Amino acid sequence: MPDQTFLDSTELVLNMGPQHPSTHGVLRVVLKLDGEKVLGADCVIGYLHRGVEKIGENRTYQQFAPYVDRMDYCAAVSNGLGYCLAVEKLLNAEAPPRAQAVRVILTELNRIASHLIWLGTHALDIGAITPLFYVMREREEILNIFEKYCGARLTTHAFRIGGLQYETYDGLEQDVKAACDHVLPKIDEYERLLTGNRIWIGRLQNVGVLNAADCKQYGVTGPMLRAAGVKWDLRKAQPYSGYQQYDFEIPTGTNGDTYDRYRVRMEEMRQSVRIIRQAVERIPEGSIMAKIPKVIKPPVGEAYVSIEAPKGELGYFIVSDGSTQPYRLRVRPPSFVNLQALDQMTRGALVADVVAIIGTLDIVLGEVDR
């Protein structure tokens, strides 16, 4: 016997997206509704499918590097880092310390930029339009550093396999420090705009609760897992690119609701600033490129490397058959895995909460569909 309401209404199927602006791209959600209450949600994905993994099998190792930037375009630098680390693991090579320090600075800057975009769009979905304009202003500072360093703002292609292509420009340290000094007080400002706001709390608290056990079951990673109280960060758990040298904390939440995820991401931005400040103080001297052959032909084998991208665990699995092109390349995108929890999170919520829950997932459809 299905639950009957006082109106004895039947189930209504509502189609949300793919053009809906609050689905952050081209996500289509088929909602099963009972009045305002959501009974279930099915995701229809693939509107932005470009076959990135297949492209990877038809390009040489160096040639594929610009394509990974186009998966999670809000955090292109993190994508590039993960790919370079995976190929370096296949080659048994390691980037020199100077390259590693610059990589850490740029990825952490990118983490802030990605979280800023998340904050702006998430707040916009819920009805707070103002933060979007402010986060774009702060993001501009970070993108200017990317532009000065590697020549592109969004799809940066900043790292190469084995290290870096570009030496740091004169004044990178000052620019990075200035950006840190600029962003940190602005984060407090966003908190003043949102954290205590009664509408914000009313819309977020106890919405889309996902406890730690469910998170582990779905394979949810990143800030969503940490908001449920699990202290799991790959930068601490499996340090890569020299993260063990830096002193930072893993912010965690308690309830695993949307408000906790908001607090965790805000705190993560502060921790990123902390890492950048430590890293920029001690960029070691030396070469920026490891000894890598011009034509990359890794030995037969496979490698899996995962890094802590802004959205969660971003993994690259590469199978090499000894030729110049990967035999198989598989990406484990954090957005795609986190999206699987949408059905569980929306059950029992209201239609307006679905928008908040999609916002808090922090998905990028370029990465979900690949």
Partner 1 sequence: MRKFLRTIFLIDLIEGLWVTFHYQRPKYIVTEQYPAQRPKVAERYRGAPRLNINPENGETLCIACNLCALACPENLIVVGAERNEQTRRKELTTFIYDTSRCMFCGLCEDACPVDALELTQDFEMAGYNRDGQVWDRQMLEEGPRPKQYKY
Are the C-beta atoms of 189 and 134 separated by less than 8 Å? yes
Q: Tell me which residues in 194-223 interact with partner 1 (CB under 8 A).
A: 194, 196-198
Binding piece for partner 1, criterion CB under 8 A, among 35-43, 145-153, 281-289, 335-343: 145-153
User: Beta-strand (E) ranges in the chain?
Assistant: 12-16, 28-34, 37-44, 159-160, 163-164, 301-309, 312-320, 326-332
Contacts (Cβ under 8 Å, ≥6 apart) of 169: 148, 149
Q: Tell me which residues in 68-107 interact with partner 1 (CB under 8 A).
A: 70
Verify binding: residue 323, partner 1, rule CB under 8 A.
no
DSSP type of residue 1: -
Letter string b/e over residues 135-169, b meaning 16 or more CB atoms within 10 A of that residue's CB: beebbebbbebbebbbeebebbbbbbbbbbeeebe
Q: Rounded to the nearest whole angstrom, what is the least distance from the CB of residue 25 to partner 1 in the complex?
A: 19
Q: Rounded to the nearest whole angstrom, what is the least distance from the CB of residue 312 to partner 1 in the complex?
A: 26
Q: Rounded to the nearest whole angstrom, what is the least distance from the CB of residue 55 to partner 1 in the complex?
A: 8
Verify binding: residue 59, partner 1, rule CB under 8 A.
yes
- Residue from 62, 238, 324, 325 binding partner 1 (CB under 8 A): 62
- Residue closer to partner 1 by CB (options 62, 238) is 62
Whole-number CA gyration radius for the chain: 21
Verify binding: residue 250, partner 1, rule CB under 8 A.
no
Distance set, CA 93 to CA 73, 87, 96, 254, 298 (Å): 27, 9, 9, 40, 10
Q: Rounded to the nearest whole angstrom, what is the least distance from the CB of residue 48 to partner 1 in the complex?
A: 16
Verify binding: residue 193, partner 1, rule CB under 8 A.
yes
Binding piece for partner 1, criterion CB under 8 A, among 36-44, 118-126, 188-196, 323-331: 188-196
The whole-angstrom separation of Cα 107 and Cα 129 is 28
Q: Rounded to the nearest whole angstrom, what is the least distance from the CB of residue 266 to partner 1 in the complex?
A: 15
Verify binding: residue 148, partner 1, rule CB under 8 A.
yes
